[in-house]
Chain A
């Protein structure tokens, strides 16, 4: 059969239109090719440690899945790119989608990069699953009703949970509160949520000082001096990078931690750096969606923690769970859609299968809301020194499901706090 230039152009145009519709079914030959998953995660800079945690968990999951047939019979191949500034991250996302032709993009830790990338994901029509990058600000404007984007929690669940637990444990035992939080939307939102929840429960309090160190500030002695001079009964801090253990060390040296209650909703990101010598017992400490030393952990989580400890001489934190949840969700969605279609599913089939899906992750069962928001289990509790490590773990702890910690679809976070029926 001779192929004229005109018929070739027609075929190309038809293929282009089909691809743009997202309903194209991959030909049989493509099923032998590996599934390419693009990873966008920081490997340098302030978020390098959680980025590496997520990448390691993804690699572990990919190896594990590949050993049992990959995703619907296709092996997984990871293409890793750096998450950095919003502009560069967008460029690397485009590279993953256009040049590397990945089937799905996963990753993103930074709130700023996540917000900037959202509209680009929708425009590129490329299935993307965020590990983190949580915020409640700017989402409605920048990413309303996403089709291709699946995001982690819709607001800072850890702030809501620790605020509720602070009230549960210490109601009536504090009158003055102070905050030291990172100076960007995450830190601002966390502190505002804490104060809003105190108001919601009519907890009489006075905010005596609010400190906003730049992310990654390594000399916090002046902030500690300012907190000490304000004499708060309770300090709320969502510091979560290397600045958190530095703050604790300097606060301990200034004897700020001796009689002050501490609420650290995001401390789990640096849990192995929170050494016993400067982190007292009885601090309210958040591990987000994964507590590595959970005695009730699933066999999957125990296997992962043992592998992580053996391989890296370290203990994983919540970004590992978020990353595992992303890749496990994608695998489950592809296989669900594939079973329904008896063939390799289109991207639209996978997206439809993801919404409402429930999968087992390292931190427990997690699911995807119809509006593409993740729901996972959060862990927080009071610190103890009674363990085999040189850092603090949790003595008594509680778990809460994200459905009880985040606003319902379409709601305004601050309005929701005023009326929500909290279970604590």
Chain B
């Protein structure tokens, strides 16, 4: 039972981080119809910047207890990266999806070089931050409080996002634009501005996820590509463009992976893609995706 709890918490933690990245991917696709491979780069950028930001803040006297809020701020500050990249993506909005994929993959490679240029080839980490909030120990069960805080942050993001999309006027405009861009434009919606806002929110979700995860792991040059592959598995399972799908997909991937690691470690990756294939065969639009008419 204790082992089960350890594995469950490990799986949910992985799902929480996956959700934050996949939510950005979903939002951008849902509204802008852009498959943004660079969401993994935003995740990596957030991780690197988080290390530097907390490093400077700590030197300036930041209390260790405020590390997590500082990381969230670091992620939010990186929102400025969104508008110029969205401006670049305008060149491919009306072009074939392959152009979008090529351009966003080019961004992944360029970001990797920028990260290496700024932070160097060595992985960067925030070691002392991980256990600053302590560890919950109960018999054989142990979980760092930081992991629980990241899970809480992901739940809060999911709930906040749901409320924003469903209950605010801007959320309704956003959904309307996702539904029918031409009609929204005809009704006076400044779609260009809205796209810039949506892309910036997507960027911030990725950078904040990267910043939040760095105390538990390390910022490394290849983390962008590694994570984006799993984020796409989440999107395929949940359904492209669906926020509820992102949540369900992240939980499925996180938990399947965690239990596969215990039951049959050789199938850690296989188990995820068996689910992906099953979803593609049985429900091609994903669990929460809209079936093509």
Interface residues of A (CB under 8 A from B): 43-46, 48-49, 51-52, 209-214, 216-219, 221-226, 228-229, 241-242, 245-246, 249-250, 252-255, 270, 272-273, 275, 277-278, 314
Contacts and interface: CB of A to CB of B under 8 A. Distances in A.
Interface stretch (B59-67, B92-100, B120-128): B120-128
Given A46-B220, A219-B14, A222-B261, A51 B121 contact: yes
A270 B220 CA distance: 13
Contact of B6 (A214, A216, A254, A275): A254
Interface residues of B, number: 46
B217 A229 contact: no
Given A43-B121, A210-B265, A249-B216, A216 B226 contact: yes
A379 to B, nearest CB: 21
A300 to B, nearest CB: 24
Given A209-B265, A226-B262, A49 B122 contact: yes
A315 B6 CA distance: 36
Nearest to B137: A255
A246 B13 contact: no
B123 A49 contact: yes
Contact of B112 (A44, A211, A246, A272): A44
The 9 A-B residue pairs with the shortest CB-CB distance in the complex, in nearest-first order: A229-B3, A48-B121, A242-B123, A222-B258, A221-B10, A222-B10, A218-B217, A225-B6, A226-B262
Contact of A212 (B130, B217, B218, B265): B265
Interface string B215-255: 01110111100110000000000000000000000000000
Contacts of A241: 220
B17 interface: yes
Contacts of B116: 43-44, 48
Which among B140, B213, B221, B226 has the highest number of chain A CB atoms within 10 Å? B221
Contact of A245 (B125, B221, B258, B262): B125
Contact of A273 (B131, B216, B218): B218
B194 interface: no
Interface in B1-23: 3, 6-7, 9-11, 13-14, 17
B218 A218 contact: yes
B142 interface: yes
A224 B9 CA distance: 11
Contacts of A255: 135, 137, 142
Given A212-B265, A226-B265, A255-B135, A45 B222 contact: yes
A254 B2 CA distance: 13
Contact of B125 (A213, A216, A229, A273): A273
Contacts of A228: 3, 6, 140
A309 B222 CA distance: 26
B13 A245 contact: no
Given A254-B143, A277-B131, 5 more contacts: A44-B116, A219-B13, A225-B9, A226-B7, A242-B218
A219 B121 contact: no
Given A44-B113, A218-B220, A213 B226 contact: no
Contact of A242 (B112, B140, B220): B220
Contact of A216 (B11, B220, B266): B220
Contacts of A211: 261, 265
Nearest to A219: B14
Interface in B52-73: none
Contacts of A210: 265
A252 B144 CA distance: 10
A314 B122 CA distance: 10
B269 A214 contact: yes
Interface string B258-286: 10011001101100000000000000000
